Structure 1
């Protein structure tokens, strides 16, 4: 909890205006803090050389002086926000869990981690509370979701801001407070799906090539992604029907630059990075083939191309 109490600034000379800072209360993790209108450093001299990066109205603070790699816009659910954390050298799952105030299993389940092994540069989805992140599939009800994860229905409704009897649709993200995934449930899910050599399920014909021209300039790398080279401004198409859960314009953003993430009814997500522009906003429903942006070279990029990831399924391209 960060609390700024009322402060009276010191006047440099008689009659100079005295500035009052209002009382502000913010609940943040160790790497993110809301951007205030008033200066955060009330000492005009300053005592630290650490830089604070500003992105979309959020100050990303790093005590070490390097840019923080926490992005807090993967989608809101109820009163909490889902974050993306980039693993740094020396990080452990337990330390990251403690940093965000969630259980280690919460991180393991949200990222389908086998064991406790993580590596530098890896992206981790971090929930705002201990529990499970569920992407609604066809046939799901709030009652069946609560039962599957051994959770309390009222807690689910309350945390997600849903009324009793609320309708949910495929692609919606529901946070299950204190939900658990049993070993048997995990085993059943993994054994009931045809796996590729990468342990991803294959959904033949589900995804559309996101760029109609250009060539693949790099094969699978990173988070199940490929690169497709094409001229700047070439339209980028939604690979499948879904809902936009990230839409960022400008900034480095962990190397992605301007990028979009869409969640789909089969529980997977697609990511489109290095855009010169994006045409969609968070919460927007898109259809397969819809133009969602244009090829660019933003972020960590050496030339115009699309970095395209399929998360949770085999990348068919």
Structure 2
């Protein structure tokens, strides 16, 4: 006969705040390693000796082992917890600021962390001077403050103002409702086109004007040029000898070029042919885009039998916006 001393295990609570919390939440008392080992030995001995209490001791051993597995160790010093991302503190709303004595565009811009151009664009300021008491709209970030118009899309605005489509959407919370007419939005990092900047004055368009332009008398070769000598199409072909001789009068150049697969579009580019069906006694007009300056927003172009008269080359400038509105382009 084997005598086994049996003592019911006692729950021992270790000092560890995290495990305490988990223990209280789960309702499972903590169990020491020694208790598990001792109970396991007792269960083995009782089973080997075929004692009447063998089943009870065995069940107790299993229960204590299970408790030990689900109860955090008292030696645990930290538990990794998911941290919630706190919303950013950066503002997104427009602020109205009243100019105080001594304020300058630079000081206000520095105070709000934006560029002075951003403030000038938002308030249509043509100079850096400020008058006391004037109210200024202060955007939250560098960029453009824009009032949504009928037909606007985020894609068009991103392209026009050289900004990120996704950033416009995210910054103005447009994911669900999209753009709404007459609502002011902020285009982060947007660049205001030269033609829309405060104080911009469009150059006087001299195209088909009555102003006398001496121009340059053309004396070049006509070899390979199948168009009528001294006219606009003749000059356009000389400037772009790669174009075919079968485009017809100027008023059909754009449509025929497109039909032939020649690249066309509505944006002026250096080296392109401009074309219109207006003017020229019903035959339209064509000329050559010499350069496009995106910094000043201007286009330099030349033609024949237009600015300077028949067989003379005339040159002038206009705005990118004006050129895009008046002409088609063959690239």
TM-score range, shorter chain: 0.3 to 0.5
Give 1 or 2: higher helix fraction.
Answer: 2
Structure 2 length-normalised TM: 0.32
Structure 1 length-normalised TM: 0.34
Give 1 or 2: higher strand fraction.
Answer: 1
